[in-house]
Each structure stands twice: as structure tokens, then as C-alpha cells.
Structure 1
Amino acid sequence: MPQDFFKASLAETLQVLSRVIGPTFAKGVIIRRPSGEHSAARFSLDSRAIATLQRLRYAHGGRAVLLNLPVRPHLVLLDPADVDHVLQRSPDPFATATREKRAALNHLEPGNVLISDAPRRAQLRPLHEAALATAERVHPLAARCTALIEAEFGAVAGHLPGNEWGWEDFSTAWFRIVRRLVLGDAARDDEAFTALLDRVRGRANWAYFLRQNRALREELLRRIGTYQANADPGSLAARMPRDEAIEPASQITQWLFAFDPAGMATFRTLALLALHPHIASQARAEAAAGHGDRPFTRRCFLESLRLWPTTPAILREATTDVTWGGTRLAKGTGILIFTPFFHRDPARFADADRMNTDIWLSGDSLPLQGLVPFSAGPGLCPAHNLVPFLASLAIGFFLSRGQLSLVGPRMDPERLPGTLDHRAIRIAQTHTTA
């Protein structure tokens, strides 16, 4: 049972707004704003946000803090036990479909499972789990994934001057892989489609502060529907039923959206491995063994997500009045889990700012430690196995072709930065012959 929560003072509320919520919103929750990500890295805004919440924790003994925000109150969690308490009790009494999430995702996927009520969620969730093979560490489309990675990264690698990878190079191949895997081979070169998706996601960043462009959204969903109608058997879209009652295009949109941060995390993992050659050599040996499940490489990827979470905030909403400690938490109260605070907690992790793959030996989701890169409980991301699997294959492609070195940005492996702008990463590769 949680402790009673503490009602924040006006000064504390303003600090959280200006140092935690504001910078997170500025970076972009649905799609990263380049200027926001650059500023966060330049001015260490994530580290400052973590320090702000640490001061609140020390001031109030780890109790959750209730902020009286203009739109509605939000409870900010500061204890991992409270994180576990909330996530294990979703979607009732702590709903995943929060007001803020609905406002954002209605811009691009109004029928998606993430913003559905409980009965609709019960209908849709199993369809996602079946298509994404949620329970399987190696996806049934493993051979297809491997072939796509070899083909697309190989095609870009053949034209790189100086064998140096930047985000533009990496993302060109990554999004070709994503379009082919999700929608089928016909979508490979449809960069205009990805641009349309990014444009709609950019509007979704503003949630209820920007009017929905329904025509733009319908064009996006129509194009996804067209691709699904002609999808290759080896695509994820073909694994989702073509039943308009479930709004399949709204479901598939989330997969396309989610593979963007997956690519960011994969590229950051390569930067980490370039910075830690001894760790890279172990992952290289694992790739050389050729197995589909690569637990060590998976832990490297999860460590990237710990150091630089691609989901900076997990939101929940009280569906009814609930007892929190000995105090009533009113129905409709929002709940905020700021993941960087828990992931970089020096009070719990001696290596909070260093790479340590051993943190993940006991599992991929550790809510009692506050480590929830794919959330936890009933709201656990249905792609929590597929994404690390695909990332591990991509990482193996790079490691199997030679040594990696980090050209930029400069990082101290003993004190890794609180923010890593993926667009600033440059990795050089020294090729080896088979």
C-alpha cells in the first residue's frame, strides 16, 4: 500500500512544470522535435529534471506529490513501489487511456487500443499480441527480418563515404526496413508516406493545444488501409485482421510510430558499443553464433533505453476515487511516471550514469526498481519482444562487419550524458573480411 501523498506547494509545482513537464513537452512526446532534443542535450535538461525530482523525494520521504495543475491535478510518483502499484492495476482503477493521451493520439489513430475504453481494449489487445507475437522472444517473421536488415543496411553501407554512419544514413535504411516489415515491399520507397506520418505526428505533439486536421488524418489512414489490402504475407499488416470494425489502420499506425523511437534506441546502442569495445566484442561473438535470440545484445539495447528512455513519461488516470495510503485520490486525477528519474537513480544504482548490462539479468521490465522501458503490468507494450529482437539483429549486422568507433558526440563512459541527441551521433566502421 502506498504512503499518503503530499500536496505540492506552488513553488514546487512551478519547478516541476518548468524543469520536468515543460522540457519534456518541448522535446516532443509523439515525435522528437530536433530543436528540442538539441537543446535538451546542450543544456542538460533531462539531468536537471532528474535533480528536481530527487529534491522532491528527499524533501517528502519518497511520497508521491500531487500537483494542482491548471487542467487537472497530477500525482507525480517518486517511489518505485508506487510505480509497480499503479502499473499492475491498469486499466482499472488506473486507466492507460488518459485525457492527454487521447488528445494526442486522436490526431493520428483515433481507434487505437491505447486510447480505447476497457471493453474495446479487451477486444483489440489480443489482436496486437497475435500480430506482434508478444509472448515470443523470436518473432515468427525472423527470417524475413534478417533478410530486410541485410538488404537495406547493406545497400546504404555500400555508398557511405569513409564508412561513417550518421542518423540520416541509419534512418534511411531503418525506415525502409520498417515500411517493408509493417506494410509490405510495395512501401519500401514511399518516403512521402513516412513524411505524411511524421507531419501528423508533429501535430499530435500539441495534443489538445492544436485543432485536429481530420483530412490529413484520413489520408494517412486511407494509405495504410490500401497497403494492408495488398500486404505481403511476410508483413505485420497481413497479420492484423482486415475487419473495419476493429479499425485496422488505426492499430497499424501505432506500430509505424513506435518503430521510430526503436530506431533511435538502436542507433544509441551502437554509440554505446562504439564507446565500450569490450562489451561490443561480447555482442559480436553472440551475433556470429547466428541464433535468433541474443540475450546479451538485448541487454545492451535495454541499457540504452535505461540511459536514454524513448518514452520519457508513462501516464495513467484514476477511473474512480481510490485510496492512496490513507487519503482519497479523486477520480480523474492524472498520474505521471517520469522514467528518466527512475532509470538514472543513483540512490538505487551504483552505475546510474554508466553502462551496466547486468542490471537486466533478472528481466526486461523491473517495475519494483522503476525500470520500465516498455511499461509493465497489463499495459506492457505488445512489442516488448519484437522491438529488442529487431534491434538485436540490426546491431549484429554492424558488429559482424568490423570495429565501431564513436566519432561524435564526445562522451565520458564513466559519466554518460542525461540526454543523447541521436541526430548528433556519428559512428565510423572499420570493415573486416569474412
Structure 2
Amino acid sequence: MALAGLARGVTAPRLALWSRALSSTTPTLQGMSNFPGANSRFVHELNLKRSIDNEPEPCYQIMNKEGVIVTPDEFPSEISQQNILDWYKLMNTTNQMDQLLYNAQRQGRISFYMTAYGEEGTHLGSAAALDPEDVVYAQYREVGVLMYRGFSLKNVMDQCYSNSGDLGRGRQMPVHYGSAEHNFHTISSPLATQLPQAAGAAYALKTRGKRNCVICYFGDGSASEGDSSVALNFSATLDCPVIYFCRNNGYAISTPTKDQYRGDGIVSRAAGFGLDYIRVDGNDVFAVYNAVKIARERTIAEQRPVLIEAMTYRIGHHSTSDDSSAYRGMDEVDTFSQDTPISRLERYMTNQGFWDEEKEAELQKTIRKEVRKEFADAEARLKPSMRHMFEDVYADKPARLQRQEAEMHEHLAKYPDDYPTNLHEA
């Protein structure tokens, strides 16, 4: 070692000085494996550990399925009775909206739809814990998050009908919502693409000195994509203020979780990438709220990413392209249908004495009227102008797009009876 040091121009006395300095600043060298890749203590007994012997990560809960607060000290005191009523109405609104639009697709009135039956608590609990300036990257079951931020029933119906009122001007599939006004990035179909994007957006917030975070929603199926590992690693090594919110709802389309992974759900992956983490009861809106609230505080204060795994159940089919009866029994669905975020919150309100059957009937009637009105209005609106196909990509429309647009108009003028241009705005 001394010869190697001398060959590089380091004198023997200086080399000895460095050796003493090293040993004095690293007193744990004798008992610790200070390799660059990891830091751990030495042991002298062979122990090949079995992952299946580990205890599963516990699931945080405040309210049980009977609507009883089992840990009163954990109940978020800042949540008022009016907050709870507002949450309950919005959860029921998304539920009725899902039913109507799902049936509309089955009748051929819209092209596609995806419901969020059984997962409404993850929407409201998480959305309420965020700041409006926090940035949302969603998958395709988080419409409640967007509606909590002010996206209206009209906005939803217009998007699903791709009509002239659609903020995306008819250029996206139904349920692929997006709104710059609400800091909600437009949803894309490919699984897990939003995860690395969320890491990048969070890093941008950090470099700009913003005291906000990014929340990224995804399902257990998306966690099997390579993008998820890339995102978790980037966010940890770059110290990004991002919350990864996984809805573990039991199925990735038709693939049950037992065929997706052998580990302890999704939350068990966090430690390997260096993220803080918690598993939460996704049917308990109060537990979800607390989990996201503390995750937000930590990720902003410490610039550490957090992984939340919300345990819930997808009661509906994956989408209108799916028939879940082909891969799961109705007895399983019926069992989980007895305990949903909506039914659990209704039981809580009834237990607390500010809800009853009469109020429930009146609420459902009011929501039904609101949903059906916006549905009918959206169906009656014209489709967007065809000129929008050539807009919004470039600040100044390039010559090639101008030529394509002119060719389209020439073609329509030549074959006017073959295209329903009367259904579009001018």
C-alpha cells in the first residue's frame, strides 16, 4: 500500500497521517461493513433469511366497517361535520355518475368508461389532505380527487362525451381527465407512465423552492411495470417531495395480486428504495386523510418521498371492456360489497346521530337530478370544431399542418354526404 502511494507521489509520512485520520473518523470500522453500497454490522452466524417469515406490514385504521371510531385519539379533530357531509355527497355523486355513464357506454352513447366502485374513500381522504397547489398525477380512477378540487359534473360529462364543452377538445378517451386550473395532469392510458413523470415534477418543485408536493396515484398492476421501480429510485436518490399513492384493489385487470407478486403487497418495496411508507385501510376515509396529511408534511419538510398503500377492493369491472365474472366469483364481490367507503361513512354518520334514512333518500334524489341534468346537457352539445385537430401543439401552426388542414377541408367539401359535419361546431 505504501509503495502504491509513493508511486503516485504520496510520501510515507503523509500516508501514515491519512491512515491515522481515517481510523479516528471511522471508529465503527471494526464492527461495521462500511462498503459503498450499504452500511450494516458484521455477524458471524450464517442466516439465510426467509422473506415469508416476516410479519406483514400492519394496516392503519381509525374507523372499522361498522362505522365505529376504534381509536378516538387518532380522529382528525379539524374535520367538521359539514366536511363529512360534503365528502359523503361527493362520494355518492361519483357513484351515481359511474352508474349512469357505465350504462351509457353499454347503450353505445359514449365509447368507453371506467368506474371507481369501492374506491371512493381513497379519493376524498387523500384530496382533502392536500393543498390546491400540490400537483396531481392520477391514473384513471381518481375522478373524485379532481372533483374535490372543483372540476364540475358538467366538466366530467363533457369530457366523456368529447363534445364542444370538453376542456380537451375531444382529443382524449373518456375518463382521461385533465385540468391545468386544478393542477391535475391529463391522464394517459399506458400503465405507470405517470410515476417517473411525478418524480420529475417533484424535483422541479424542489429546485424552484416551492413548499408543495406531488401526489401520484397508481394501482397494484402498475407497480409491476418497470417505470414504477425507476420512479421510486429516482425520487429517493434525488430527494423529491412526492407521495406515491398505490390503490391495492386486488386485481390488475384480470390478474389477481397472487399472480402479480410474492412480497408483502406494494408497501414492502419502499424500504428497498429508501422511501418512508405506510399501509392504510382504503375504506376508511379518515385513516386515508391522516396518512396523506402526515406524508405531505414529511415529504415537504424533509424532501423525502413517501409510499402509501391503500388496501381497498375494486367492486366494479376493470372497465367497459372487461367482464370480471370470468375471473372472480360473485360471492367474493358480494362479500366486499358489504363494506365500502360509502357504506362505512354512512354508518359512522348514523352512529353519530346526524344521518338517517330520510336524509339518505333526499340526498340520493338530489344527486340523481343533478347527474341526469348534466348528462342530458352534455349529450345534446355539438362535437368540437374539426379545426381543433390541428391546434395546441405548436404556438405557431407549421406549414405542414396548415397543408393537412386545407386537405381535410377539401376532402369534406368533395364528399359532404359521407361525414356528419353537422354534428360539429364550425
Q: TM-score, normalised by structure 1?
A: 0.24
Higher helix share: 1
Whichever of the two has the greater Rg, that structure is 2
